[in-house]
Amino acid sequence: MIKHIPNFLTLCNLACGCYGIIAVFNGDIQTGAIMIWVGAIFDFFDGFSARMLKKFSAIGKDLDSLADLITFCFLPATIIFSMITQEGESNGFSYMAYLIVIFGALRLARFNNDTRQTDTFYGLPVPAVAIFVSVFPFIKELEKSAFSEFLLKDYTLIGIAVLLSLMMVSDIKLISLKFKDFAFSNNWSRYLLIVISLILLAFLKIMALPLIIVLYVVLSLTLKIAE
């Protein structure tokens, strides 16, 4: 039974993505966003449990990518699409949200076959993309300002989708969030990111999430320059 724990957690991630997509298509965009967060928890622990239990398999690796494509690519793309079309009809412009799925699939395929991406990521990971997008369904309720109205404009949402898509397939060198052990010397950059993220969450709540993704990219680039 133990050997099946990682794959079971991966399937839980996949189930979150499926449920979230159904919720969005039924008009409940916020529940879709919440399913991204729950899926991200399962995604973290499936890899973590596989490393701790030393239960790796080619099937598990491929299954993880398939689950990620649904939860962290198709679901956030559907959220953006629904936010654009909820007050009007769909058009060619709104379908550009699904560039996240296309570029996400390419990112995941490259990741599975790129031997460089063990201790380092190249390109923005798909969970980071999804977490960034997951905040947008809550912006109108949490912050009422000219900036929040700008963020919710159709062209802004599509611009963000395009930018995130390009970042996924870029060669930007980013910190891998995979813990192989808990030694501070081997993970100090990860611990630093976690501490700052917790502080931001304590003060800014949900609105801290996109800032954490930006912090993740900035910290990674800073460490690369310092090498």
Q: Which structural domains are found in the chain, ordered by start?
A: 2-174 (1.20.120.1760)
- Name the pLDDT band for 226 (thresholds 50, 70, 90): low
Q: Which of 141, 27, 14 is nearest to 81 (CA)?
A: 27
At 195, list the tokens: 């501490």
Q: Tell whether the model's pLDDT for residue 224 goes beyond 80.
A: no
Lowest mean per-residue pLDDT among 38-52, 112-126, 165-179, 201-215: 112-126
Query: In 10 A of CB 72, how many CB atoms?
Result: 30
Is the separation of the CB atoms in 189 and 219 below 8 Å? Answer: yes
Residue 91 exposed, middle or buried by CB count within 10 Å (0-12, 13-18, 19+) = exposed
Whose structure tokens read 């900036």? 147
Largest Cα span, the chain: 54
Q: Which of 212, 210, 214, 216 is nearest to 76 (CA)?
A: 210
- Name the pLDDT band for 111 (thresholds 50, 70, 90): confident
Query: In 10 A of CB 146, how many CB atoms?
Result: 7
Lowest mean per-residue pLDDT among 6-15, 39-48, 100-109, 113-122: 113-122
Is the separation of the CB atoms in 61 and 42 below 8 Å? Answer: no
At 19, list the tokens: 């449920």
Residue 222 exposed, middle or buried by CB count within 10 Å (0-12, 13-18, 19+) = exposed
Phi-psi region of 123 (alpha: psi -120 to 50; beta: other; left: phi over 0): left
Which position has the higher pLDDT, 117 or 149? 149
Whose structure tokens read 């390109």? 123
Is the separation of the CB atoms in 145 and 208 below 8 Å? Answer: no
